[in-house]
Structure 1
Amino acid sequence: MALLVAAAVAIAVAVVAVSSWLLTRSQLQNELDNSLRNSTAPSSQIASALQTCEDGAGSTSSNKAAPDASEQAFAYFQVVDANGSRCVALGSQPVKVEQQDVAVARGEEEESPVHTSTTDGGQEVQVHTRLQTIRIGPPGGSSPQPVAVTISRPVDEIQTSLNRLALLLAVVAGVGVLGAGAAGLWIARTGLRPVDGLTRAVEHVARTEDLSVRIPVDGEDEIARLSRSFNSMTAALASSRDRQSQLIADAGHELRTPLTSLRTNIELLARSEETGRAIPPDDRRELMASVKAQMTELAALIGDLQELSRPDALTPGTVQVVALHEVVEHALRRARLRGPGLAIDATTATWYVRAEPATLERAVVNVLDNAVKFSPPGGVVEVRLDAHGELTVRDHGPGIPAEDLPHVFERFWRSPSARSLPGSGLGLAIVARTLQQAGGEITLSPADGGGTVARISLPGAPTPPPDLPPDA
């Protein structure tokens, strides 16, 4: 980032510096050219140039003494004839005569455009000049013909200023680039410091699997949002891992009891076969019934664990319109088989919901199983599905103590009075999750006169939507 900032500033400064230098050079050259166009050759300089030719001083000599320094005006003067010969005024430098200067001397042009040339008077270093040749009348009427006079000014007078400006711009540009690079480096390090912290935190988590790491958050910028997202992610992962560990621990605890009992019973049966000492028929039948019950309990527990291990969100393909009253009827038939000595009083109204059929039926069956399990022999289980879609299941059992109600939907939780009864403690947890996924809820409360009332509410309608046939 610092290199990018420095490069961007360097390019910008270079463009500005070069543009400024070129603009200044153009402006100074224009001013020099304008001064040439507005200049007139003093008659004394013309006469001096003509006199040098008449005296035989030569057309290429460099004269050091000027008759009138105030009239010289920092310019060189020379007279050019039609043959291309020149006569240089005193104190001026001879300038190369070009074809366009000769054309003016011959009368073909009134004046030549301002152009660049060099001195050629034999000096060691040639001087670049800007010059213009113009036709003027003869001085003092000494010649009946006009003459061509070349007025030139050395470019050095603006080149020195341009060189100083170039040096100044180079220094300023260098300082600007170095300052921009340093500022960019400081800004980059300051701005990316939270990213460095986030990187170290991610590397720490990857190396140690420690999900308790949190990044300090300061501000509301993108880095702060990223830090908050990382903290939320690690908190969610830590919570998920804790729930997974707790589920494994609880499952191991719940599986240990039936497995131990099952192993003990099987070892008794195996020892009887090995030793040849037969177990009394009644005891053998009791052992076999116990083994069968424990196998059934293990199968139910494994099924509950599989249900809980599914993702919390239902896949879109499994959700469909379900006739809740039909689901209740199917669950009632299973409940009557499990509680043959109980009376089930059921009334159902038509109600359609959107849910996963298999899990919804399992949830209703679990609620009815609890009612059957806790009902006294010969008791009554009352089931009502009203016209507003609320399903109530009431038993006349011992009820749930008020201090246990907050825990009934926790995984593997069982009240002290229910630990002697079959079950895994996962049924109501599965019911709560299933109904939550379908947009509904379940509540348990003490019933008037004893027992417990379970209330299930699911959003729906008394008539089937268009995607469900009436006879479905």
Structure 2
Amino acid sequence: MTGPVRRFRALPLRSRLALLTAVAVAVAVAAVSVACWFFTRAQMRDELDASLRNTSAPDEVLREAFDACGVRLRQPSAETANFAYVQLVLPDGRRCVAPYYPPVKVRPEDLEVLGGAAESVHDSTTDGGAEVRVHSYRTTVGGVPVTASVSRPLGEIDATLSRLALVLTALAGIGVVGAGAAGLWVARTGLKPVDRLTGAVEHVARTEDLTVRIPVEGEDEIARLSRSFNAMTAALASSRDRQARLIADAGHELRTPLTSLRTNIELLARSEETGRAIPPGDRRALLASVTAQMTELASLIGDLQELARPDAAAPGRLEVVALHEVLDTALSRARLRGPELTVSADEVRPWYVRAEPAALERALVNVLDNAVKFSEPGGTVEVSLVDGELVVRDHGPGIAPEELPHVFERFWRSPSARSLPGSGLGLSIVARTVRQAGGEVALAAAEGGGTRAVIRLPGAPTPPPAPPGSGVVPDQ
């Protein structure tokens, strides 16, 4: 059984549909034909039984049959002999057959009529083997109770049933062939959209051309499949474009620090090769520049590694994190990077969130670094954390309204910030980390100048209870 199933599954879909259609129609036609044949047979036998019940053997024929058991024999009329077979069954089981009638075998049903049954209609055979339908009833001949059997050959209806069977078989064959042809036509017509989709997929696989679109017609399953394919190719094209743009932008951003770093190192190497010492002040400046460029390059590579993960990828292990403690660490780093600034955090309340600790700290550092970078020397950066809402406000030049929709895009930098250090990836990483923690982030112009960054993270002012047996003691 497994072999035919495997061979069937190996057939093309069009052939399988045509074959299944033909088989289904064949089964239906066969069932209807068999039912029709049996119904016709039953109907014809019922009509034959009714005809036999309405037929009584003539008294002359009965006397002739009775005489056939004795001495005297008389010939029946020809028309009676051609209509039905007549014989008598005596109580002792003997049969008396009128001349020119074939003898019919006596059945128990014939004797039961003499025992009290009103009548009996049953099948029997002649001594020659021909099948007959027999109607037996009780009567008397010369005062002797006997069973009169009137029978007719079943060949009358068997011939009709044979012809009907041939007609039904021919019709069934024609129906199966027609159903197979119709199934093949339906399969070809119905699978044309699938053929187009298959061709489009093969074209994309062969040429990597993601601009291919399939025309969508109607609202059926094929139309839904076509829409899904179009959406998939559009998403793949967009992803490839973003990837190409990311590589181009990354190459551009890496080229600047690498070029500067190479220039400074070549100056130092040339000084060593020629023996012409660089003044101590200039040497210290060169080394500080090399250190800064290495730091910028390392930061940029870290940002690129963070963004290399797809947006849909699962974040790292989420933990219950004390946001206020992470903020304290980020504030310490911000104060080191902007020693000439005042970074105040007058209102910081406890707040616990579920997030990836390292990513969350990097996001807060990026927000604070952004505020420090755009603040004027001697300026102030104000930070607050109340009920899960972190607000970082600087007093720098601010962001133009037309630039606000782009601040979280990768590598995007405002024209006024392109001369400052940075890669344009910091706020993109912030937005991604906050979304993965279930929060939201927004930048807006602050009243009186500057920028106001707001991060909202779901959580609670107290840590959740530790699972039993974990050994973790919540903060008091």
Q: Please state which band the TM-score falls in when normalised by the shorter chain.
A: 0.7 to 0.9
Tell me the equivalent position of 1:21: 37
Q: What's the offset of the Cα at 1:45?
A: 2.1
Tell me the equivalent position of 1:75: 84
Tell me the equivalent position of 2:209: 210
Aligned residue runs from structure 1 range 344-383, under 5 A: 344-347=343-346, 348-383=348-383
Aligned residue runs from structure 1 range 259-270, under 5 A: 259-270=258-269
Query: Once the two structures are superposed, what CA deviation does each residue of 1:6-62 show, in whole Å capped at 9, x if it has no partner?
Result: 21221122122112212322332244345435532212223455778999989xxxx
CA distance in structure 2 between the aligned counterparts of 1:100 and 1:448, rounded to whole angstroms: 117
Q: Percent of pairs identical after alignment? A: 64
CA distance in structure 1 between the aligned counterparts of 2:134 and 2:313, rounded to whole angstroms: 91
CA distance in structure 2 between the aligned counterparts of 1:323 and 1:7, rounded to whole angstroms: 69
- More moved, 417-426 vs 243-252: 417-426
Query: Once the two structures are superposed, what CA deviation does each residue of 1:83-115 show, in whole Å capped at 9, x if it has no partner?
Result: 9685543xx44235558699799x899988733
Instruction: Specify which of 92, 101, 114 is matched with residue 122 of structure 2.
Output: 114
Q: What's the offset of the Cα at 1:4?
A: 1.0
**CA contact 2:123–2:131 (8 Å) conserved in 1:** no
Q: Which amino acid aligns with 1:454?
A: A
**CA contact 2:49–2:121 (8 Å) conserved in 1:** no
CA distance in structure 2 between the aligned counterparts of 1:413 and 1:317, rounded to whole angstroms: 26
Specify every segment of 5 or more residues in structure 1 that has no aligned partner in the other structure, as ranges.
Answer: 121-125
Aligned residue runs from structure 1 range 315-326, under 5 A: 315=314, 318-326=317-325
Tell me the equivalent position of 2:458: 459
Tell me the equivalent position of 2:232: 233
Tell me the equivalent position of 1:129: 132
**CA contact 1:84–1:102 (8 Å) conserved in 2:** no
Q: Which amino acid aligns with 2:463?
A: P
- More moved, 415-424 vs 277-286: 277-286
Q: What's the offset of the Cα at 1:395?
A: 2.1
Tell me the equivalent position of 1:273: 272
CA distance in structure 1 between the aligned counterparts of 2:226 and 2:106, rounded to whole angstroms: 77
2:241 counterpart of 1:242: yes
CA distance in structure 2 between the aligned counterparts of 1:260 and 1:450, rounded to whole angstroms: 36
CA distance in structure 2 between the aligned counterparts of 1:463 and 1:147, rounded to whole angstroms: 111
Q: Structure 2 vs 1, CA of residues 469 and 230 (structure 1 numbering), >3 Å: closer, same or farther? A: farther
**CA contact 2:399–2:451 (8 Å) conserved in 1:** yes
**CA contact 2:87–2:95 (8 Å) conserved in 1:** no
Aligned residue runs from structure 1 range 178-217, under 5 A: 178-217=177-216
Secondary structure of the 1:258 match is: helix
CA distance in structure 1 between the aligned counterparts of 2:225 and 2:447, rounded to whole angstroms: 53
Higher radius of gyration, 1 or 2: 1
Secondary structure of the 2:191 match is: helix
Q: Structure 2 vs 1, CA of residues 54 and 401 (structure 1 numbering), >3 Å: closer, same or farther? A: closer
**CA contact 2:411–2:425 (8 Å) conserved in 1:** yes
Q: What's the offset of the Cα at 1:167?
A: 2.9
2:58 counterpart of 1:46: no
**CA contact 2:344–2:382 (8 Å) conserved in 1:** yes
Q: Structure 2 vs 1, CA of residues 148 and 275 (structure 1 numbering), >3 Å: closer, same or farther? A: same
Secondary structure of the 1:137 match is: strand
Query: Once the two structures are superposed, what CA deviation does each residue of 1:108-129 show, in whole Å capped at 9, x if it has no partner?
Result: 9998873321364xxxxx7543
CA distance in structure 2 between the aligned counterparts of 1:93 and 1:165, rounded to whole angstroms: 30
CA distance in structure 2 between the aligned counterparts of 1:12 and 1:398, rounded to whole angstroms: 83
Secondary structure of the 1:152 match is: strand
Q: What's the offset of the Cα at 1:266?
A: 2.1
Paired residues, number: 452
CA distance in structure 2 between the aligned counterparts of 1:390 and 1:99, rounded to whole angstroms: 104
The CA RMSD measured in Å over matched residues stands at 3.4
Q: Structure 2 vs 1, CA of residues 337 and 104 (structure 1 numbering), >3 Å: closer, same or farther? A: closer
Tell me the equivalent position of 1:123: none
Provide the TM-score with structure 2 as the length reference: 0.82
CA distance in structure 1 between the aligned counterparts of 2:109 and 2:170, rounded to whole angstroms: 42
Q: Which amino acid aligns with 2:77?
A: P
Tell me the equivalent position of 1:95: 103
Tell me the equivalent position of 1:176: 175
Q: What's the offset of the Cα at 1:314?
A: 6.6
